[in-house]
Chains A and B, each alone.
Chain A
């Protein structure tokens, strides 16, 4: 290879991480099949649209692949500002309704909290990219990131969307962690986090508190608030090793399982395909996340590295929160399983994230 040679389109094509695309398309396919089953064997209303959205996502990845990562780096603060602006707008525009998470622009609804997660990751990546290594030991360096994280975090928690807010927080912290935050500050964050739990609890809406309490003792009210967790566990548990077969999940097909097309899609797959099906999906996710982390180790720019770590963490948190929730390890917080659950915003976010990772690979200047 000749260094300094301009990167041609052909070379970019050669570098394209096709395996990321393949893995994500595999998940979208699984999702379409699951949604086909969720609507009792029909492409409408979910499965067909899900597949189309997957196609749009792939196109988006290709488009982002052409966008130079440096451009994103340059605009990252502005993007975060725009995301926070949308979150504020949401509070102003749609304050009449109890739960306001969606914004409608030209008939297209989406949740600004999802892109906000990526915006925070990129803004933090740029911030730490600009810090000289020797300054990383100073506590003052971590004050601006605190604002970058806290502002969207509080806005999202007020929506109220506890799940997304916590995912944003943990994703952002992973960037700080990867950037080399000293251990003593990490412990400080942990202690602070635990200490603020009671304050956080006071901020919660009654129904959010109830969810947490239900999680702590689901069987106390098996037909009330604990219904979802109990039904989810029954559906999963009755699936066994190999499941009841495609379209044969009685819990899901008989509608005992709530929200089977969104938050509880993993449960439905577990009922129909058993432990084998669930572990297969988990493995695909791990491969995808692992690939992104591997890319983060390979790419040259610090911004690209930190962004990749943050995006991998976001993806992981999506999967973890959802699976932990449907298996009764976490309270029901309303978190989708990315690329499989029906719902445009989460899928869009993940494809945008993947597009950024692809861009990081394609536009990488460092030569191995």
Chain B
């Protein structure tokens, strides 16, 4: 009986315990119910909001970048549709596996693979990574069919910047390229637009705010595998403004061709002779590697690369730039997407620095083209007049130094007209000493030297117009009269850019207004500041410049523009890059063509046309091109003729 009682007690304990367990379970279940109430009712609105955000990926939509046209509305910079292959690590889950699967569809180099994985580690997992930009039609077709089975893999249609004229307008348009980390630091909001390409140089950079446009936003309903289901546009992006440049592609093409060919003949690259020369010449090789296939045979029969230098043509009334060439050139298209190290190295290692825009940042001694500045300063100050003459015996002594004229035998008695015509150095030595460097500087500044011209290409160099103060400030010693003598023929400290030379010429030709350069086509001529140089002085200088090409003794007498186009006025310049020693002078100066290229003189020419009622000003610099008369002047003539012909509707 005792046992039975114990059994009963035992059963009671178990019943109690079972009920206790059941009660506990009920309690815990109620607790779960409360938790559900908390999530689903109390915090419902909060989670509903999160859920909405989850469904829609808010994306900033990059605006379509404005296009750039030449003056006749031919495309210089446009946008082409291109497809990007992207992968979102969040949705891909097993990224290496997805990349493995992808590589069975398109060829993926190990390097590309590593870059994607590195990017996945660096960035938040919801940000898509571009696996491949600019997919070919073939890749696109294959991917379109098969990528649907790959989680996290998507395509995006993007607009890629293209420059249809390539290298021909590279120094004008500049280029856009993907955002740099510095840009992102300056403006973190750009992080939402990882595909945005911004102008880095040239017009693309100068007109960035006009060209870029305003981004829009859209909400993309995606599933967790990253597949877009629906797109809702909230704000339409507004495209950037199109811009029309004053540039004329026809002139530009001719200018690039004529400047780069110089006086030489082009060589057919397929000739074994040309191939042999390229193989044996490092400089030629780097030209070819950088995509330049213009190869020349110089008058001595040597095979050389194309000439390098600069050429600018400016409308003397409106300041519009009709042509702007800096040689060597480069193709801006290589920068728009990921720049290949190979391409970068080829441009960077090139001995003649193709990336340097010589028109705005190339600083050259202006040489004899600077003589107009000295003449105008002296005429304005009344130190000379039309009839004031000096005798040139071939050199001039100052203290115990001798300054030579380029004409060893001397020019005899010359006035300012003759001195400009024949580019007599001694005349300008004398005049400069009487005028003083400060007056020369004042005139130079008014003509556009020593300061940025304001052309729509950022990063312009100012050049140097020296003076007493400048010498003291930079060198800490006083200016000497000998330095005035050297400066009078545009050598020594004086440095100018080709755009400044063109600007000076345009202002002299214009005579009334201080024109300012513009790459943009101008619908009407703006109100420029008055030039404020006496008309009488300008007229004398312009006559001198006319004589350079028209008179039988002019330095460019062989290269006048036909009378049917109204003729051309100008000034040659031949700039020494290497000092000539006394011994060399006595032994007889070695001809340019017999010197190494690097030691040859720079050939310069500035000019305008037509002579009466001028329309266009031009400046030409051929680096180590020899003499301004025989090298630069014919180039200028050809280009001015081309422009005036096409203005008249002639071919």
Is residue B9 contacting chain A, with contact meaning CB distance below 8 A? yes
Least CB distance from B226 to A in Å reads 9
B51 touches A240 (CB 8 A): no
Our pick among A178, A238, A286, A306 for the contact of B51 (Cβ within 8 Å) is A238
Least CB distance from A130 to B in Å reads 13
Is residue A256 contacting chain B, with contact meaning CB distance below 8 A? yes
A251 touches B54 (CB 8 A): yes
- Please indicate the chain B residues that have their CB under 8 angstroms from the CB of A306 in the complex: 14
A236 and B38 alpha carbons, distance in the complex (Å): 10
Among A116-124, A289-297, A341-349, the one that faces the other chain is A289-297
Is residue A254 contacting chain B, with contact meaning CB distance below 8 A? yes
Is residue A47 contacting chain B, with contact meaning CB distance below 8 A? no
- Please indicate the chain A residues that have their CB under 8 angstroms from the CB of B40 in the complex: 236-237, 239-241, 270, 274-275, 278
A290 and B29 alpha carbons, distance in the complex (Å): 12
Residue of chain A at shortest CB distance from B40 = A275
Is residue A324 contacting chain B, with contact meaning CB distance below 8 A? yes
Our pick among A256, A257, A282 for the contact of B33 (Cβ within 8 Å) is A282
A237 touches B224 (CB 8 A): no
- Number of A-B contacts defined by CB within 8 Å: 140
Least CB distance from B380 to A in Å reads 73
B223 touches A279 (CB 8 A): no
A235 touches B51 (CB 8 A): yes
A133 touches B54 (CB 8 A): no
B222 touches A254 (CB 8 A): yes
- Please indicate the chain B residues that have their CB under 8 angstroms from the CB of A133 in the complex: 6-7, 9-10
Is residue A327 contacting chain B, with contact meaning CB distance below 8 A? yes
Main secondary structure of the interface of A (DSSP, over half): helix
A237 and B39 alpha carbons, distance in the complex (Å): 5
A88 and B40 alpha carbons, distance in the complex (Å): 44
A236 touches B36 (CB 8 A): yes
Is residue B28 contacting chain A, with contact meaning CB distance below 8 A? yes
Residue of chain A at shortest CB distance from B12 = A180
B224 touches A255 (CB 8 A): yes
A274 and B40 alpha carbons, distance in the complex (Å): 7
- Please indicate the chain A residues that have their CB under 8 angstroms from the CB of B18 in the complex: 178, 293, 296-297, 305, 309
A234 and B47 alpha carbons, distance in the complex (Å): 5
Most B C-beta atoms less than 10 A away, residue of A174, A238, A250: A238
Residue of chain A at shortest CB distance from B17 = A178
A275 touches B36 (CB 8 A): yes
A327 and B34 alpha carbons, distance in the complex (Å): 11
Q: What 0/1 readout, one digit per residue, does chain B (5-23) give for beta carbons within 8 Å of chain A?
A: 0110110011101110110
Most A C-beta atoms less than 10 A away, residue of B39, B124, B125, B222: B39
Is residue A323 contacting chain B, with contact meaning CB distance below 8 A? yes
Is residue B352 contacting chain A, with contact meaning CB distance below 8 A? no
B44 touches A237 (CB 8 A): yes
A324 and B221 alpha carbons, distance in the complex (Å): 30
Least CB distance from A304 to B in Å reads 12
Is residue A49 contacting chain B, with contact meaning CB distance below 8 A? no
- Please indicate the chain A residues that have their CB under 8 angstroms from the CB of B13 in the complex: 180
B residues 219-249 touching A (CB-CB < 8 Å): 221-225, 229
Q: What 0/1 readout, one digit per residue, does chain B (44-58) give for beta carbons within 8 Å of chain A?
A: 101110110011000
Least CB distance from B28 to A in Å reads 6
B51 touches A223 (CB 8 A): no
A279 touches B26 (CB 8 A): no
With A179-B14, A254-B55, A254-B229 already in contact, the answer to whether A320 and B21 are too (CB < 8 A) is no
Residue of chain A at shortest CB distance from B55 = A250
- Please indicate the chain B residues that have their CB under 8 angstroms from the CB of A177 in the complex: 17, 21
Our pick among B7, B35, B37, B48 for the contact of A238 (Cβ within 8 Å) is B48
- Please indicate the chain A residues that have their CB under 8 angstroms from the CB of B10 in the complex: 133, 136, 180
Is residue B90 contacting chain A, with contact meaning CB distance below 8 A? yes
Is residue A46 contacting chain B, with contact meaning CB distance below 8 A? no
Q: What 0/1 readout, one digit per residue, does chain A (36-59) give for beta carbons within 8 Å of chain B?
A: 000000000000000000000000
Is residue A360 contacting chain B, with contact meaning CB distance below 8 A? no
A residues 94-140 touching B (CB-CB < 8 Å): 133-134, 136
Is residue B41 contacting chain A, with contact meaning CB distance below 8 A? yes
With A134-B6, A180-B10 already in contact, the answer to whether A241 and B32 are too (CB < 8 A) is no
How many chain-A residues does the 8 Å CB contact rule pick out? 54
Least CB distance from A337 to B in Å reads 12
A residues 174-194 touching B (CB-CB < 8 Å): 174, 177-180
Is residue A224 contacting chain B, with contact meaning CB distance below 8 A? yes
Is residue B388 contacting chain A, with contact meaning CB distance below 8 A? no
A297 and B126 alpha carbons, distance in the complex (Å): 55
B residues 89-126 touching A (CB-CB < 8 Å): 90, 124-126
Is residue A303 contacting chain B, with contact meaning CB distance below 8 A? no
Is residue B43 contacting chain A, with contact meaning CB distance below 8 A? yes
Is residue A264 contacting chain B, with contact meaning CB distance below 8 A? no
Is residue A211 contacting chain B, with contact meaning CB distance below 8 A? no
With A177-B17, A223-B124, A282-B29 already in contact, the answer to whether A251 and B51 are too (CB < 8 A) is yes
Is residue A165 contacting chain B, with contact meaning CB distance below 8 A? no
A240 and B37 alpha carbons, distance in the complex (Å): 9
B37 touches A254 (CB 8 A): no
Least CB distance from B355 to A in Å reads 41
A97 and B616 alpha carbons, distance in the complex (Å): 81
- Please indicate the chain A residues that have their CB under 8 angstroms from the CB of B17 in the complex: 177-180
A362 and B39 alpha carbons, distance in the complex (Å): 43
A243 and B226 alpha carbons, distance in the complex (Å): 25
A237 and B54 alpha carbons, distance in the complex (Å): 13
Residue of chain B at shortest CB distance from A235 = B51
Is residue B25 contacting chain A, with contact meaning CB distance below 8 A? yes
Is residue A316 contacting chain B, with contact meaning CB distance below 8 A? yes
A290 touches B221 (CB 8 A): no
With A234-B47, A286-B26 already in contact, the answer to whether A178 and B14 are too (CB < 8 A) is yes
- Please indicate the chain B residues that have their CB under 8 angstroms from the CB of A316 in the complex: 25, 28
A296 and B19 alpha carbons, distance in the complex (Å): 10
With A223-B90, A251-B54 already in contact, the answer to whether A293 and B41 are too (CB < 8 A) is no
B residues 587-621 touching A (CB-CB < 8 Å): none
Least CB distance from B154 to A in Å reads 14
- Please indicate the chain B residues that have their CB under 8 angstroms from the CB of A279 in the complex: 33, 36
Least CB distance from B49 to A in Å reads 8
Is residue A216 contacting chain B, with contact meaning CB distance below 8 A? no
A residues 193-226 touching B (CB-CB < 8 Å): 223-224
Least CB distance from A233 to B in Å reads 6
Is residue A22 contacting chain B, with contact meaning CB distance below 8 A? no
Least CB distance from B210 to A in Å reads 38
- Please indicate the chain B residues that have their CB under 8 angstroms from the CB of A313 in the complex: 21, 25
Residue of chain B at shortest CB distance from A134 = B6
Most A C-beta atoms less than 10 A away, residue of B37, B40, B50, B90: B40
A261 and B308 alpha carbons, distance in the complex (Å): 71
B223 touches A278 (CB 8 A): no
Is residue A329 contacting chain B, with contact meaning CB distance below 8 A? yes
A284 and B7 alpha carbons, distance in the complex (Å): 34
Our pick among A238, A255, A309 for the contact of B225 (Cβ within 8 Å) is A255
A178 touches B224 (CB 8 A): no
A179 and B47 alpha carbons, distance in the complex (Å): 45
Least CB distance from B90 to A in Å reads 6
Most B C-beta atoms less than 10 A away, residue of A180, A253, A282, A302: A180
Residue of chain A at shortest CB distance from B9 = A133
A240 touches B48 (CB 8 A): yes
Q: What 0/1 readout, one digit per residue, does chain B (245-261) give for beta carbons within 8 Å of chain A?
A: 00000000000000000
Our pick among B22, B55, B90, B224 for the contact of A293 (Cβ within 8 Å) is B22
A255 and B229 alpha carbons, distance in the complex (Å): 12
7 contacts between A and B (CB under 8 A): A134-B6, A180-B17, A251-B51, A254-B55, A255-B225, A316-B25, A320-B32
Query: Footprint of B on A, CB under 8 Å?
Result: 133-134, 136, 174, 177-180, 223-224, 231, 233-241, 250-251, 253-258, 270, 274-275, 278-279, 282, 285-286, 289-290, 293, 296-297, 302, 305-306, 309, 312-313, 316, 319-320, 323-324, 327, 329
Known contacts A180-B17, A251-B55, then 4 further A-B pairs from the complex at CB < 8 Å, ordered by chain A residue: A178-B18, A286-B25, A309-B21, A320-B29
The 7 A-B pairs of least Cβ separation, nearest first, read A237-B47, A255-B224, A238-B51, A254-B223, A255-B223, A275-B40, A133-B10
